[in-house]
Structure 1
Amino acid sequence: MTKVAVVQAAPSLFDTPETLHRFEQLLGEATSAGAELIVFPEAFVGGYPKGATFGATVGARSDEGRALFARYRRSAIDIPGPDFDRLRSVVGTHKAHVVVGVIERAGNTLYCASLLFAPDGTVLGHHRKLVPTGAERLIWGQGDASDIAVIHTDLGRIGMAICWENYMPLYRSELYRQGVQLYVAPTVDSRDTWASTMRHIAVEGRCFALSATQYAVRGDYPADFPLPSGDASEDTADAVVIRGGSCVVDPYGALLTGPVFDRKDVLVTDIDMDVLDGAYLDLDVSGHYARPDLFWLATTQSPRRGYQ
């Protein structure tokens, strides 16, 4: 058995030191429970500016919106850089495989990225979200093919898909083709339908699906942050902004834990990797259940980014 955890929590928006403190505390809670793989939500380090317009309309921008974006950009992390090094150090202290969503500052562009760390803090995977969704495209750049990869680890083969990348059938297919066993999905999607998406992916890919969703309240945002009306019904620190929905699913679509809503939580469960052998009996979408004489997938190949 392998013990895994999905963290349902939020950063402190625009306060990276406090966010890194929360990361350390939550990671410690998960490893104290015996978790060997811990998954944090999308944009956990750097934050998800829920509902912000950044003063942009078609053909116009506002000074206030640019000032808000400047605050957001300053809370992102450089890779490599001091905050990145702090993440590596904390992971190395707790000695577990960790996936965490970050907002990455690269040159003059921000990217929504997901990092996979080995127990000694080594970076095993660095994936940038391929297509930011809707208004996210205003603030985040697009990823590329350099990091489309399933990573071999001591726990199994890990692939990462960020939020609505899970609705990209060809991206999922590429992860399946590379033999993903632990399909990791950091997100901020807190709708009831998200767990259904994870269950479908687990069955389709014959893999374990682990999804960590933010649980955020008004107090996780600065007092002057322009939350949209309706997202926080009361202007109180505990008014819910993002309601969670984290879960872990087995290769037959059974929920091993979650979905959990409306509370901060660290969900811990056991997974049995030996289940995978039997699961391939009647479905392998990249093998005996494929029809390469009729359908084929071509994915651009390009060199990965290096690390210092």
Structure 2
Amino acid sequence: MPKTVIAALQIGTSPDGSAATVENILKYEPEILETGCKLTPEGQRRIPQVLEAGGDIPGPEVDSLCKLARRVKTFIVVGVVERGGSTLYCTALFISDQGEVVAKHRKVLPTASERLIWGRGDGSTLPLVKTPAGLAGAAICWENYMPLLRYAMYAKGIQIWCAPTVDERDIWQTSMKHISYEGRTFLVSACQYQPPPTEEMCAALGLPEGKPIIRGGSVIYSPMGEALAGPVYDREALLKAEIDLDDIIRARYDMDVVGHYARPDIFQLVVDEKPKNSMDCQ
């Protein structure tokens, strides 16, 4: 099977807003083009303080990313704050190498204080998307700790697991290694890097000087839980790795958790993929 390249772009979200963040992404266009990346997940996520901080789909920022994908012929998976009516969602967009938004995934359960800001997604946005590098899906941050969601994605046949996050802890690497090994899938986790705050901000908030707000930790794992690139900390970075989907077939020879290593006669999972609305007209 032909080999392709996947990549993770580790940057931070600009305090100047989503337009400035997109500009930062666009600065990496030459590197993306030179790598020939077929899949570029990008881990930017932010907690908006007001509804106006959210973005519309389509919208100017998304349009810029679509143009980037088309110019460099790269399939992009990118985290955004999506505005839907008067509600915000933590969303991963799938943008094809033709520059079209082909799917989205809304985080099904915001984590902790995120629930003060974001609404809940439903089972209608759990897509697997065909990309030039393989079948890709996304689990956002702590969704990766939901065993039933993981199993649902395995059962769909995921080949490239995208895990955008802001979790910089060492235990996150353990989880990513486990998921890639459990699902026998390639895994790309892009984490934000937010540089150290200014001296004035440190003094005002009582923060230690010189320590990044979020240190990163973006990584790419093989279907056997081996690190192919990263993790990278304390700087912006574009990680890349060449992959061969036949490695998934080889890895599942001795364990396929939805195939020969499953017991559907004992255990069953039902996934409701219908969209949930506040009013159901009969």
TM-score with structure 1 setting the length: 0.83
Match of 1:83 among 41, 53, 61: 61
- The amino acid that maps onto 2:80 is V
The answer on 1:36 being equivalent to 2:38 is yes
The aligned residue for residue 172 of structure 2 is 194
- Report the secondary structure of 1:186's partner residue: coil
- The amino acid that maps onto 2:191 is T
Cα distance change on mapping 1:20 and 1:162 into 2, 3 Å: same
The answer on 1:9 being equivalent to 2:6 is no
Structure 1 window deviating more from structure 2 (151-160 vs 130-139): it is 151-160
Note if contact 1:42-1:163 (Cα within 8 Å) is conserved in structure 2. no
- Report the secondary structure of 2:28's partner residue: helix
The aligned residue for residue 104 of structure 2 is 126
The aligned residue for residue 280 of structure 2 is none
Cα distance change on mapping 1:295 and 1:140 into 2, 3 Å: same
- The amino acid that maps onto 1:9 is I
Distance across 1 between alignment mates of 2:61 and 2:41: 18
Cα distance change on mapping 1:76 and 1:228 into 2, 3 Å: farther
- Report the secondary structure of 1:240's partner residue: coil
Distance across 2 between alignment mates of 1:187 and 1:210: 11
Structure 2 unaligned runs (5+)?
A: 278-282
The aligned residue for residue 155 of structure 1 is 133
- The amino acid that maps onto 1:16 is S
Identity value in percent: 41
The answer on 1:185 being equivalent to 2:187 is no
Note if contact 2:13-2:44 (Cα within 8 Å) is conserved in structure 1. no
Residue 244 of structure 1, CA deviation: 0.5
Match of 2:239 among 267, 281, 297: 267
Residue 15 of structure 1, CA deviation: 2.2
The aligned residue for residue 300 of structure 1 is 272
The answer on 1:249 being equivalent to 2:221 is yes
Distance across 1 between alignment mates of 2:272 and 2:160: 23
- Report the secondary structure of 2:232's partner residue: strand
Distance across 1 between alignment mates of 2:29 and 2:175: 26
Cα distance change on mapping 1:81 and 1:294 into 2, 3 Å: same
Note if contact 1:114-1:160 (Cα within 8 Å) is conserved in structure 2. yes
- Report the secondary structure of 1:290's partner residue: coil
Residue 90 of structure 1, CA deviation: 2.0
Residue 239 of structure 1, CA deviation: 4.3
Distance across 2 between alignment mates of 1:299 and 1:226: 49
Structure 1 window deviating more from structure 2 (289-298 vs 122-131): it is 122-131
- Report the secondary structure of 1:298's partner residue: coil
| 1:103-146 per-position Cα deviation (integer Å, ceiling 9, x unaligned) | 01111111110011111111222001111111111111111111
Structure 1 unaligned runs (5+)?
A: 50-68
- Give the 5 Å matches for 1:185-224: 185-218=163-196
Note if contact 2:5-2:39 (Cα within 8 Å) is conserved in structure 1. yes
Structure 1 window deviating more from structure 2 (197-206 vs 21-30): it is 21-30
- Report the secondary structure of 2:176's partner residue: helix
Note if contact 2:38-2:132 (Cα within 8 Å) is conserved in structure 1. no
